[in-house]
Structure 1
């Protein structure tokens, strides 16, 4: 089964634009964020999206609604597994130079656990039934046209990357895909997944990481590093 997952970082809210840490603080998109979401909608039209999921935080859910305004036939499902990392007492203020996540912040392992709850359930729901003779290719791959959109946040995506590249999964970066680039608002990450019928496991290739080319003409106004991407 060939499945394409398009993961997207929600555009800025007024807090994000001021460099204020948000985490679980539920702040709405600002006007610039809505503009970026409309640009994102145009960029996503080249993908034949079949399913959509979003973080329950309003800045993400509004992004998903705007990005899929041209696809009213697709329900947008909210899931806590896509929610941004909670940053405790750091939320609602600017991060000081050199300041790390406080003791009351959600650990990256905790974020990974709830992220995996969403991802594992999603992948399990798309495992194809045993294929009749001739339905797979020579490698035992079942072909499918599923394209899944997931709208989340920068801190979450960092944890997602670390998790899927761990030994728990069978994902890898694609040739020429730079995973060290900055995470920008309204950027797009594309992962091509396939279910190997012979090995009974999902495999994935990260072919696009944090692409913001749909905003290249307004890049001077963009926040290069998202505030909530706290290490």
Structure 2
């Protein structure tokens, strides 16, 4: 059984300003570095075999801060773990978004289906290549919420900066274990 801790990156200035980041490469701020260190503390109670992240600097730095505490070096970055691309809306504030695109359809935006598919593809690949391993993967809030929904069929709450969501892969499928530190009822196996 593969165990996965999917961690959201720490805070950036755009998070603090409530700007839509998407796939824009915005670095961590000092608060984000503290949040990453707190997440690392929560992960120290377990043994981890592999540390990976999205290639965006906020995720990579969060992973490196975690790795320094849990004794792992980030071994890879996966473009499939990048946040959803929001096209022309990236960098816009909530007010800007409402004023310019009240229907939520941003020109050039990646579909949620595409983001979910690529994110799950990376996670499935990790489970296939590292069966029985315990993996920490640092990614982004939108991607994590989409994976939660796809795996469990449940509505996913907001994922805070440096929030930790855990999954188990039983050799066939992913099962949601915890969201933001809270346990969930795992999905029952599908009858053949």
TM-score (norm 2): 0.83
Q: Which runs of 5+ in 1 are unaligned?
A: 128-143, 167-172, 174-178, 196-201, 213-231
Residue 163 (structure 2) aligns with: 187
- 1:158 alignment counterpart: 145
Give the aligned length.
Answer: 177
Rounded to whole Å, the distance in 2 between the matches of 1:118 and 1:205 is 16
Cα distance in 1 between the residues matched to 2:130 and 2:23: 30
Cα drift, residue 41 of structure 1: 1.1
- Residue matched to 2:135: 148
Please say if residues 40 and 65 of structure 2, whose CA atoms lie closer than 8 Å, have aligned partners that are also in contact. Answer: yes
Deviation at 1:73, TM superposition (A): 4.2
Q: Please identify which structure carries the higher helix content.
A: 2
1:14 aligned partner: 13
SS of alignment partner, residue 47 of structure 2: coil
1:159 and 1:100 map into 2 onto residues whose CA distance is 17
Q: Which runs of 4+ in 1 moved over 6 A?
A: none
Match of 1:207 in 2: 177
- Matched ranges for 1:19-38 at <5 A: 19-38=18-37
Structure 1 contact 15–22 (Cα < 8 Å) conserved? yes
Q: Offset at 1:153? A: 0.6
Task: State the SS of the aligned residue for 1:46.
Answer: coil
- Give me the whole-angstrom Cα distance separating, in 2, the residues matched to 1:28 and 1:147: 27
Question: Once structures 1 and 2 are overlaid, which stretch shifts more, 67-76 or 148-157?
Answer: 67-76
Question: Does the aligned pair in 2 maintain the 1:50–1:74 contact within 8 Å?
Answer: no
Query: Does the residue aligned with 1:112 lie in a helix, a strand or coil?
Result: helix
Aligned match for 2:119, one of 106, 115, 119: 115
- Cα offsets for 1:10-57 (capped at 9, x unmatched): 111011100011111111100100111111111110121101110110
Alpha-carbon offset, residue 180 of structure 1: 4.4
RMSD between aligned residues: 2.1
Q: Distance in 2 between matches of 1:24 and 1:204?
A: 25
Provide the rounded CA distance (Å) in 2 between the counterparts of 1:103 and 1:113.
21
Q: Indicate how the Cα distance of structure 1 residues 192 and 75 shifts in structure 2: closer, same or farther if over 3 A, else same.
A: same
Q: Distance in 1 between matches of 2:105 and 2:31?
A: 27
Q: How do 1:33-182 residues align onto structure 2 when only pairs under 5 Å count?
A: 33-96=32-95, 97=98, 100-127=104-131, 144=132, 146-165=133-152, 180-182=156-158
